[in-house]
Structure formats: structure tokens, C-alpha cells
């Protein structure tokens, strides 16, 4: 289930497995909506995992921790970015500060896949949008954060961005089954085949335009 929040229309996700065990991915804000979604499914939150640490993806994390006691996992490459969330937020908007999570588990030190209740989550390092960006593979669903969006790759001009690393990460994702459904941090879902087909068409158009 996708929940879109905030002025940047960020996608957070609630994934419910067998027995009602649940995972929340990238809760950007409006924690009450995530809690309502969990309650309506009689689900127990076993973990909060973020694909990266930009401020628009973490706004509801601490509220969910307070309400459920669930652990919060984030790749250590983005821990510094997490701590500076309100500094970066101030550069984009002047609204109230985010409650930056005080306790974070380094995803990189966890098993892969990581077990959260009955849910098995494979994490794939995909730096480029940020240094600690990951994609999360749960069965036939790939949660891509801002590494891969429906209309193209994520930005690399924000804190933590690196275009060369992002290109390498996209090569990694090209090696996954093309039928995987990709759920991005912004915009609509797409399959990997559709995403890379769109990129190929764009590259062909750019090449043709040079002649």
C-alpha cells in the first residue's frame, strides 16, 4: 500500500506479510495515516526501513517508533545525511522541523536478506542519489526510493549525489528480472522493463537530435 505525503509528494509504503507482520518503507510524514493503515489490516509493525536519508522521506519515522517501538534501519552511508535533515530542509522550505530519529540501526551490519518478523527483505546497495541509497526487494516487488523513478533516474545534484555511482547502480538493477514491479519514492510504479525501455528511448532521441 502506497501513502503519498508532503509537498514533494513522496511515496511511503506499508507492506503486510503473512500473519500480519508489517514493514513501513520511507514514511515521509503524516504518521497517523501509516498507523491507520496498519490498524485497518490488523498488522504489527516489525520495522521501518528507509531507502535513503533525505528529509522528505523520514518525517514520520520517529512518530512511528514512539507509537510502535519498531526498529528503524538505514544504511550507514546516509547516517550523516539523516543527522543534518533539518539543515537541508531549511534550504527548501521554512516549515516546522522534523523529529530526526534518535536511534538508527545500520542496515549494512544486518543480514541480507534481513528478517523482520515473517518478512524477508533483500537490500541492494545503489549509491548515487545519496551515498547510502538502497533498493529493497520483497518477493516480486522492488522499492527503489529515489534511485529509480518512473520517468528516469533520481537526481544527483542534491546532498550525497554522485552521477557516476548512480549509473553504476542502474547497471546493477539492469541485472534483475525485467518483470519486477518497481515502486519509486515519487511518482507511479513501473516495471524494470518499462523503466529501462524509457531510458533507452530517451537516449536514442538525444542521439538523433545531435545529427
Check: CB of residue 72 under 8 Å from CB of residue 101.
yes
Nearest to 181 by CA among 171, 170, 194: 194
Residues 64-82 have pLDDT tens digits of: 999 999 999 999 999 999 9
pLDDT (tens digit per residue) in 101-147:
999 999 999 999 999 999 999 999 999 999 999 999 999 999 999 99
Q: What is the DSSP string of 99-147?
A: ---S--EEGGGS-SSEEETTEEEEEEE-TTSSTT-EEEEETTEEEEETT
Phi-psi region of 76 (alpha: psi -120 to 50; beta: other; left: phi over 0): alpha
- Give residue 210's pLDDT: 42
pTM: 0.91
In Å, how far are 1, 170, 175 from 105, measured between CA atoms?
A: 24, 26, 28
- Write the CA distances from 158 to 91, 146, 155, 162, integer angstroms: 11, 11, 7, 9
Q: What is the pLDDT of residue 111?
A: 95
Please give the mean pLDDT across all residues of the chain. 91
Distance of CA 113 to the CA centre of its chain: 16
- Interatomic CA distance for residues 28 and 50, integer angstroms: 10
142-177, pLDDT tens digit by residue?
999 999 998 889 999 988 899 999 999 999 999 999
Residue count of the chain, please give it: 211
Amino acid at each position: 500500500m502506497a501513502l503519498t505525503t508532503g509537498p514533494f509528494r513522496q511515496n511511503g509504503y506499508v507492506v503486510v506479510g503473512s500473519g500480519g507482520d508489517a514493514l513501513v518503507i520511507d514514511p515521509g510524514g503524516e504518521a497517523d495515516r501509516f498507523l491507520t493503515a496498519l490498524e485497518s489490516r490488523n498488522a504489527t509493525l516489525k520495522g521501518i526501513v528507509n531507502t535513503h536519508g533525505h528529509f522528505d522521506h523520514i518525517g514520520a519515522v520517529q512518530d512511528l517508533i514512539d507509537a510502535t517501538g519498531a526498529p528503524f534501519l538505514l544504511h550507514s552511508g546516509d547516517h550523516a545525511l539523516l543527522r543534518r535533515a533539518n539543515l537541508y530542509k531549511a534550504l527548501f522550505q521554512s516549515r516546522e522541523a522534523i523529529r530526526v530519529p534518535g536511534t538508527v540501526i545500520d542496515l549494512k551490519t544486518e543480514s541480507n536478506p534481513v528478517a523482520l518478523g515473517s518478512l524477508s527483505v533483500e537490500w541492494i546497495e545503489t549509491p548515487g542519489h545519496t551515498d547510502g541509497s538502497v533498493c529493497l526487494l520483497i518477493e516480486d516487488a522492488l522499492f527503489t526510493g529515489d534511485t529509480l523513478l518512473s520517468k528516469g533516474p533520481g537526481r544527483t545534484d542534491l546532498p550525497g549525489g554522485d552521477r557516476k555511482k548512480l549509473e553504476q547502480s542502474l547497471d546493477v538493477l539492469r541485472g534483475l528480472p525485467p518483470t519486477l514491479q518497481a515502486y519509486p519514492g515519487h511518482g507511479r510504479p513501473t516495471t524494470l522493463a518499462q523503466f529501462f525501455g524509457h531510458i533507452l528511448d530517451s537516449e536514442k532521441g538525444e542521439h538523433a537530435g545531435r545529427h
